[in-house]
Structure 1
Amino acid sequence: MESLSHPVTFSILEKGYAYPDFVKFTEQLVAENRTTGANQSEAYLDYTRMCLQRMNRWNKTAQVSAKMRHLIERIQEPQHWLIITEAWCGDGAQSIPYIAKLVELNPALSLKIIIRDEYPEIMDAYLTNGARSIPKLVAFSKDLKVELFTWGPKPNYLMERYRDYKYDSKGVSYAEFLQEIHLWYAKNKNHDLEQELIPLLESSLL
C-alpha cells in the first residue's frame, strides 16, 4: 500500500456509474439491442443479455459471510472503489454484484463503474500480464493519493483455467469452455472472490 502515480481523478469518479445505474444502463442497452464498445456483433449482444440476467440473479442471491461483513464494518476511513468493465463482460456480471453488496454495508465505501474502452489511459494503468483484462477493481484512499489494493479480472482458480485452456484446449470448444466457467461461478457462489478480497481489505486497514 503506497502512494502511486495513477490517472484516476475525482472528475472520472463523478462520471462513473453507481452500481444500480450500471444495471439500468445495461437494461437500456439490451432494450436497444446494442452493447458497449466497438464490437456490436450478435455474439456480444448475446453476452450483454446474459450479463444482465446474471447481475439480476446475483442481486437477489449473493450472500456476504459474517467474517467479511465484520471486516467491511471495521473500515472507518473513506475508500473509493473503481471498477473497469464492459456491459458484455461475463466475468464482470459474475463478480460486480457481490462487490456492490460489500459497498452497501458501509457508508465509508463508494463504488463507481467505468467503461473500459472509454478510458483507455486508466485501463492501461491496470493491465493484467500486459492485457486489458476486465473487470478490474481498484481501491483508493479518501484523497485518491494512495492506491489501497487491486483485484481482477477473475478469481485465481479461473486465471489458471484460462491459462491451461490457452495452452491446450483438449478439443473443448470455446463455447463449451465458457459454459464450464459460468457453471463454476454458479457453484462457487463468490466464495473464492471473497477469500481473495479479505486479505486485500485487511491490508487497507493497516
Structure 2
Amino acid sequence: MKTAIAKGLFNSHPYLEYRKLVSDLLLENKSTGSEQSDDLTNYSTLNETRMNRLDKTMKISEENSVKLKSLEREYIWLVISEGWCGDAAQLLPIVNKMAIESGKIELSIVLRDENDALMNLFLTNNSKSIPIVIIVDKQTGELMGHWGPRPKGAITLIQDYKKEFGVVDETAKTNLQLWYLHDKGISTQNELLELMQEIDS
C-alpha cells in the first residue's frame, strides 16, 4: 500500500501541469491513457472546455472555506484521473480550489493507466472508476482515507438510470453532466470536508 502510494506521488503532477499535459496531448489529437480512440479524444476536448469554465466559475462556500482553513494537520490529496473522464473534469477544479483555499492541502494528480498497482487498491465494485481522491498525511505518508469516484447524488442518479434502462448511455451521461451543473460542486465540497474533519480530529 505505502509503496504504491509513494510511487503514485513520484509519478504525479500538480494541477496546472496536469492541465498542460492533457492540452499538449490534444494538440497531437491524443488523450491521456493507454487506449486511444476518436471518442476518448472528443471527450478530452469537451472536458478541456468544461474545466476551463469551472476553473473560472467554481466557488468555495464561505462556510466551507472556514472549515478548510481550520484543518490542524497538513495533507496530500493524490487524485487518480485521466483527461477523458467526464467525472474527473467536473470534480478536479473543485478539488483544486479546496486545496488552495485550505493552505494545508497539496494536490497531486496521477494518471490511472500508468499506475495500475495504485488503482487496484481503490477499485469501486471491482471497476477502475475515477477520479479517486487519496488522502495522505503529509508528515507521515500514511493513508488516511479516500473519496470518489462521484458524489452520492451522482452515484444514485447513475444507479437508478442503470436499473431502469440496463445501460449507461449518452442520455445517462448528459443527465449526469446536468446534475453536476445544478449541484455547483456543493456535494463534493461537503462530502470531502466531512471526511477531512473526521480524519483531522
User: TM-score with structure 2 length normalisation?
Assistant: 0.93
Q: Is the 8 A contact 1:80 1:144 kept in 2?
A: no
Choose the corresponding residue for 1:8, options 5, 17, 32: 5
Q: 1:193 aligns with which of 179, 188, 191?
A: 188
Q: Residue in 1 aligned with 2:86?
A: 90
Describe the SS at the equivalent of 1:168.
Answer: helix
Query: Residue 174 of structure 2 is aligned with which of 168, 171, 179?
Result: 179
Counterpart code for 1:8: I
What are structure 2's unaligned runs of at least 5 residues? none
Question: C-alpha displacement at 1:75, in angstroms?
Answer: 1.9
How do 1:39-188 residues align onto structure 2 when only pairs under 5 Å count? 39-169=35-165, 174-188=169-183
Letter of the structure 1 residue corresponding to residue 164 of structure 2: D
Q: 1:187 to 1:78 in 2, by over 3 A?
A: same
Matched, 1:35 2:31: yes
Equivalent position SS for 2:5: coil
- The amino acid that maps onto 2:186 is H
**In 1, distance between residues paired with 2:129 and 2:159?**
13
Q: Within 2, Cα distance between the matches of 1:197 and 1:21?
A: 23
Q: Which segment is superposed worse, 142-151 or 21-30?
A: 142-151
Amino acid at match of 2:132: K
Residues 162 and 168 of structure 2 are in contact (CA less than 8 Å); yes or no, is this contact kept in structure 1?
no
Distance 1:127 1:12 in 2: 15
User: Following the alignment from structure 1 to structure 2, what is the Cα–Cα distance between the partners of residues 6 and 65?
Assistant: 36
Inter-partner Cα distance in structure 2 for 1:144 and 1:61:
35
C-alpha RMSD of the superposition: 1.8
Identical residues among aligned pairs (%): 29
* Worse-matched range after superposition: 100-109 or 172-181: 172-181
CA contact (8 A) 1:69 1:105 kept: yes
Q: Does the 8 A contact of 1:6 with 1:125 survive in 2?
A: no
Larger relative helix fraction: 2
Cα 1:185/1:7, change in 2 over 3 Å: same
Secondary structure of 2:110's counterpart equals strand
SS at 1:105 equivalent: helix
What is the identity, as a one-letter code, of the residue corresponding to 1:124? N
Contact preservation (8 Å) 1:80, 1:140: yes
CA contact (8 A) 1:84 1:135 kept: yes
Note the C-alpha offset of 1:12.
Answer: 3.3
> Using a 3 Å threshold, how does the CA distance of structure 1 residues 173 and 116 change in structure 2: closer, same or farther?
closer
Given the two structures, how large is their TM-score scaled by the length of structure 1?
0.91
Q: What runs of 5+ residues in structure 1 fail to find an aligned partner?
A: none
